[in-house]
Structure 1
Amino acid sequence: MGLDAVNTATAGLRATQASIALVSQNVANAGTAGYVKRSTSPVAQGLNNAGVATGAITRNFDLAALKQLRLETAGSGYTGTKADILGQLEKLYGVPGDATALDGVLNGYTQSLQTLAINPTSAAARSSVVDAAQALATKIGGIAQGVQDLRTGIENTLTGQVQDANALLDSIARLNVQVQTAGDGGTRAALEDQRDQQINKLAGYMDLRVTSERDGSATVMTASGITLVDRGVAAGLSFDGRPTLTANASYDPPETRSVGTLIATLPGGARIALSDEGRLSAGTIAANLELRDTLLPQAQRRLDDLAAGLATATTGRTVAGTVATNPLTNREETTLDLSGMKQPGDRITLQVTGPDGASRNVILVASAFDSKPQAAALSDDATAFVQTVRITPGTPPSLQAIKDALGGLSDAATARGYPAAAVPSLDAAGTAGALTLSGGTGWRVVGGTASVTVPQSISDAQTYPEFALFVDGSAKGLFTDSLDNGAQRTGFAQRLAVNPVVKADTAVLTALGGSATGADATRANFAYGALTQTERTFSSSSGIGGLAAPYSTTLVKFAQDVIAAQGSASAQAQTIDSGQGVALSAAQSRFAEGAAVSIDEEMSNLIALQQAYTANARVLTAARDMLDTLLRM
């Protein structure tokens, strides 16, 4: 037997020992989180492949399964966060049908009005209406405050999540460097395990795309293509969270942003707002941003619309316009009586059609300041053209003020980039008592209404049957839906209160009006009808009835729709999260199939390695015996 055989056997023993050690390592770490099964394959070496050497250590896993696992991890973080917060939001409304839930408290208020209508001379019935109204205002305000508490909680959560994500990015970058400089395969594999664990944790916060480089490093990007880690360099994340959020706190417009912004500072110094729409689409951070900036503000808007409806139900009056065809132009014109349009917030709504036949609403909102364009989302129609029209409070708008507002509206639409055919061309003639609005070339005014606040103050109890029962609990007093100094409707749900004048003298609820004395059921019936029979227009921004157009229904039905919509959204989020949980579990199982250690498989490998070790040992034993024999000769 030659020395080649001895060398071959010796090399085989070393390779087998290394493989046995790797099997032992796999078995010892079978229950270690994040550990990926290792393997090695001996490689031939020497002349005519006469020897064998230990091969490189390989981590055994399915790359496609790992990518799917990260995708489902991000998805689960997103759906789980939404389901949790929307579930908490639903609880704020109470259990439908319960006396203390929103619908139960609203029913108590409407029933108290019915009772008063039957017994208008009863002081107890009048007090019951005030108590029920106060309970309703408290309930709506409590829910709205709960919405803002949820937003504030999310803001604080985002601060912590961004800090965690920042630490993970730094850790991934450091591990990239360590992987590149690892001195042996075992150390490198352990470092790669740690790096994958960090990336998987990061995937819970945001949707990622990971690329393996030839030098062993991993490039980490958001799914939208923003590079977060490039070899040993990580982007820095920052979040300027605010301690408390209110109904006025919003992400847009950027120049007046009053909520935190998530910024990624890239290695070159560029700053990108990851909190902008479309930058992150999955993970807990994306879900929290959507909840904070879209879903919870929409819930607030619904409550504000409900509160505004309650306030204007007994103070507002709608004046319908008269539509006629002008014989000279052969186009429709609308004549409106604007004599009651005396307070900021009173408004004109015109239905117009353009040259292309498309219909739009034009809304002019009374203001104590010069005419200027307003965001359509502040009106009942998020697709409308909205402009303020200047008035002197207590006096209807002048013809010139109306003309200025219409001209300013057209100028604003042009400045925003609307094509000429889509820019309203409207004109006005007449007086506030009979104002005629008409369209220019290609435009028609096919209808219109004026919405006015009849009482001039919270103490104006002489107006009949209109009176102020619900008012703005802040110093703003009478609710007129004004846009001056910020939209009065925004956050109104928290400020909704019962008129202190009515609290002090409940006889207002059944007053005959003017100088007449006595009591009757007119106001009680009027208030009850305004809740249950009169259809009102609610903002398309609330999402009830669709986002494309305003929604008309009774106030009681709107409240029921709000409760149903919130319950449906919560149930849907729970269902989606359950499905995502199944998808995540399947992805984890698929990855584990290739990456997890199988004790049975490792024991089988160990037996084979023991047999190989024994065979190599016999070769060395035979070589030793031969040498002993030769030495005795």
Structure 2
Amino acid sequence: MSLSSSLNVAVAGLDLSARRAETVAQNVANSDRAGYARRELEVGGPSVGSPGSTSSVSRDVDPRLTAFRRESQSRQAGDEVTSSFFGRIDAAIGDPDKTGSLQDRLARLDAAFVAGAAEPQSQVRLQEIAEAAVDLSTLLNDLDDGVTEARQNADQDIGKAVTQLNSDLADVARLNTDIRRQSLGGHNTADLMDQRTVLIDRVSLQIPLRELPRDDGSIALVSSGGVMLLDGRPAELGFSSRAPLTPEMSFPTQLSGLTVNGRAVAVSGGSSGIPGGGLAALFDLRDITAPDATARLDSLAADLIDRFEDPAVDPTRAAAAPGLFTESGGILAATPDAGLAGRIGVNTLVLPSAGGDVWRLRDGLGAAVLGAGGEAGLLLRYGTAMADRAPPALAGLPDNSTDIVGHAAALKSMFSADRLKNEDRLAFSAAEAQGLVDRRDGGAVDVDDEMRRLIEIEQAYAANARIIQAVSDMMNRLTEI
């Protein structure tokens, strides 16, 4: 090899070492950045490192790992929605041994009836009954409010998610165009692909999807339910939030569904176009999970109202007059609208704050005048009404004949079981997703390995520098002869 050829090869080697060192430094500097995939300098041409050789930067990514990670993270996002809901409602009901829980308030009402029957002439005891009844109905109101708020929030979150999805899909389409142009011009597109990966990851949290490669580095996106989200042009998702949202509202009569390019898309069941992600979980919460929770609460509220409307409990009450507990101040409707737990209240006839008198708890809601202070029959019958074994008055709870405490225990058990089941599911999906995230789609940066590569690059750089020095020395000798 001539001196000039040796010099050219050494100079090309120095340039290659510099580019490799730059790539390694970039890997180390971005090792913790979300969406970053390890870079690899690929060299081609007649001979690696020789004049005329070419190089390009590639992203070290395994598409299969990317797909698995996105699927797992999408599942985790959906599980978080459901688990959070059941965690909040179960905590609001409270544990049986905790002061203020549903079962504690039922027990305090029952104990107040017993104490009142023992001292029917005591205004204090009668006031305690009224207060315990109000506390119980207030908790049911609060539980209903919590479920309704969760539905309202889910509806609002769907609207926000759809807006973000439209923005992200448009940005992915723009990056597709930029990547295609840069690729055709022979420029490095790795950074643009990192940005696109972050956007697609965000889309996949809401809608599980598959990434389909297209020419010149661009991609198409299709949901796992078969809905095309992006292929050249982005799809336009549509949704209309509803505020305020009340318990009786349902899809599709009062609440909006999802559209893609103006066409309705199923959001639940086997035909769902967006199965398994955060968006589907929000729709399920709004349209299925929360309404089921409302039905459970309504079943307990109906049972409570119905027990005290029995004519045998309070003979002084007129047939069309409400009992101790009411539905919006009246009797229990034959087919109550959803949200009964939010409408249950205590009869104002026994509430001094509403112009009533607590002595009616002892003498009867329909009593014309104050009765004898020692009469405890009605108070005893109130206690018996709570203890009577009967099936729930509305569907929503197990169809078992038991007392009101038993129905409340069944309600608590159902929500606790749902909470535990969904917490376990979330723990599994979160662990699975984290394991795949840690692998960084096969492109995780091992800093120790990168430093080893840097040492090798330094050695190659030094070797080429020595060649240049040797050629320089030889040429100096030749000029001296």
TM-score (norm 2): 0.86
Aligned counterpart in structure 2 of residue 261 of structure 1, from 257, 262, 270: 257
1:299 aligns with 2:300: no
Q: Secondary structure at the match of 1:215?
A: helix
| Superposition deviation, residue 614 in structure 1 | 3.9
C-alpha distance in 1 between matches for 2:480 and 2:361:
130
Distance in 2, matches of 1:193 and 1:25, equals: 13
For the structure 1 residues 527 and 121, does the alpha-carbon distance in structure 2 shift closer, same or farther, using more than 3 Å as the test?
same
Q: What residue ranges of structure 2 are gaps of 5+ in the alignment? A: none
Three-state SS of the structure 2 residue aligned to 1:314 is helix
1:70-118 alpha-carbon deviations (Å, 9 max, x no partner)? 1221122122222222222223223422332211111122222333444
Counterpart of 2:263 in structure 1 is 271
Could you tell me whether the CA contact under 8 Å between 2:316 and 2:367 is conserved in 1?
A: no
The answer (yes or no) to whether the contact 1:210–1:219 under 8 Å persists in 2 is yes
**Shift of residue 472, structure 1, vs aligned partner:** 1.9
Which position in structure 1 is the counterpart of 2:317? 461
Equivalent in 404, 420, 436 of residue 555 of structure 1: 404
| 8 A Cα contact 2:9 2:49, kept in partner | no
Task: Look up the SS of the partner of 2:220 in the other structure.
Answer: strand
**Displacement, 1:138?**
1.7
Structure 2: how far apart are the matches of 1:297 and 1:11? 70
Aligned with residue 612 of structure 1, among 440, 451, 460: 460
Are 2:425 and 1:576 aligned? yes
Structure 1 vs Structure 2: percent identity of aligned residues? 26
SS at match of 1:536: coil
Distance 1:577 1:220, change over 3 A: same
CA distance in 1, matches of 2:187, 2:216: 16
Call closer, same or farther: CA 1:561–1:186 in 2, change over 3 Å. farther
> For residues 133-158 of structure 1, what are the alpha-carbon distances to aligned partners after superposition, in whole Å with 9 as ceiling and x for unaligned?
22222221122112212222222222
Whose RCO is larger (CA < 8 A, sep 6+)?
2
In structure 1, what is the Cα distance between the partners aligned to 2:27 and 2:131?
A: 71
Cα distance change of structure 1 residues 118 and 590 upon mapping to structure 2, 3 Å threshold: same
* Other structure's SS at 2:391 match: strand
Alpha carbons of 1:50 and 1:179: their partners in 2 closer, same or farther (altered >3 Å)?
closer
Aligned residue number for residue 29 of structure 1: 30
Give yes or no for the alignment of 1:533 onto 2:381: no
| Deviation at residue 511 of structure 1 after TM alignment | 4.8
One-letter amino acid matched to 1:492: L
RMSD between superposed Cα atoms in Å: 3.4
Give the match's secondary structure for 2:439.
helix
1:607 and 1:128 map into 2 onto residues whose CA distance is: 82
State the AA in 2 paired with 1:293: D
Distance 1:123 1:25 in 2: 80
Residue deviations 1:278-321 (CA, integer Å, cap 9, x gap): 3333333222222222222112111111111111113258xxxx
For 1:586 and 1:552, how far apart are their aligned partners in 2? Answer: 48
Question: Does residue 284 in structure 1 map to residue 264 in structure 2?
Answer: no
Q: Does 1:587 align with 2:436?
A: yes
Paired letter, 1:555:
I
Task: Give distance in 1, aligned partners of 2:470 and 2:124.
Answer: 113
Question: Does residue 38 of the first structure (1) align with residue 39 of the second (2)?
Answer: yes
Could you tell me which residue of structure 2 aligns to residue 160 of structure 1?
160
Change (3 A) 1:190 1:522: same
Provide the residue aligned with 1:473 in structure 2: 328
Q: 1:312 is aligned with what amino acid?
A: D
- Deviation, structure 1 residue 128: 3.5
Q: Does the Cα contact within 8 Å between 1:37 and 1:596 map onto a contact in 2?
A: yes
Query: How far 1:234 sits from its partner (Å)?
Result: 0.9
Sort the Cα spacing of 1:599 and 1:125 in 2 relative to 1 into closer, same or farther, 3 A. closer
User: Which sections of structure 1, spanning at least 5 residues, go unmatched?
Assistant: 318-453, 483-487
Structure-2 residue corresponding to 1:433: none
Please show how residues 289-328 of structure 1 align to structure 2 within 5 Å.
289-316=283-310
Name the CA distance, whole Å, in 1 between partners of 2:180 and 2:412.
57
Q: Which range moved further: 173-182 or 82-91?
A: 82-91
Once the two structures are TM-superposed, the CA of residue 162 in structure 1 deviates from its matched residue by 2.1
Instruction: Report if aligned partners of 1:112, 1:132 keep a CA contact under 8 Å in 2.
Output: yes
Distance (Å, rounded) in 2 between the aligned partners of 1:15 and 1:512: 95
Q: Which moved more, 1:569-578 or 1:240-249?
A: 569-578
Q: CA–CA distance in 2 between the matches of 1:63 and 1:185?
A: 23
Q: Secondary structure in 1 aligned to 2:182? A: coil
**Residues 122/613 of structure 1: CA separation in 2 closer, same or farther (3 Å cut):** closer
Q: 1:87 to 1:4 in 2, by over 3 A?
A: same
1:15 partner amino acid: L
Whether the 8 Å contact between 1:62 and 1:591 is mirrored in structure 2 is: no
Deviations 1:6-63 (A, max 9, x none): 55444444433332332232233334332211112322328x9985613332111222
Aligned partners of 1:97 and 1:104 also within 8 Å:
yes
Equivalent residue number for residue 66 of structure 1: 66
SS of 1:55 mapped into structure 2: strand
SS at match of 1:57: strand
C-alpha distance in structure 2 between counterparts of 1:249 and 1:602, whole Å: 58
Question: Would the alpha carbon gap of residues 274 and 178 (structure 1) be closer, same or farther in structure 2, given more than 3 Å must change?
Answer: farther
* CA distance in structure 2 between the partners assigned to 1:520 and 1:512 by the alignment: 14
Match of 1:187, SS state, is coil
One-letter code aligned to 1:34: G
* Counterparts in 2 of 1:623 and 1:77: CA distance versus 1, 3 Å: same
Contact 1:314 1:526 in 2 (8 A): no
The question of whether the paired residues in 2 share the 8 Å contact of 1:94 and 1:101 is answered with yes
In structure 1, what residue type is equivalent to 2:332?
F
Distance 1:85 1:629, change over 3 A: same
C-alpha separation between the residues in 2 aligned to 1:513 and 1:247? 33
Corresponding residue for 1:434? Answer: none
Show the counterpart of 2:110.
110
**Alpha-carbon distance, 1:175 to partner:** 0.9
Post-superposition offset of 1:619:
4.6
- Once residues 197 and 512 of structure 1 are traced to their aligned partners in structure 2, the CA distance between those partners, rounded to angstroms, is 66
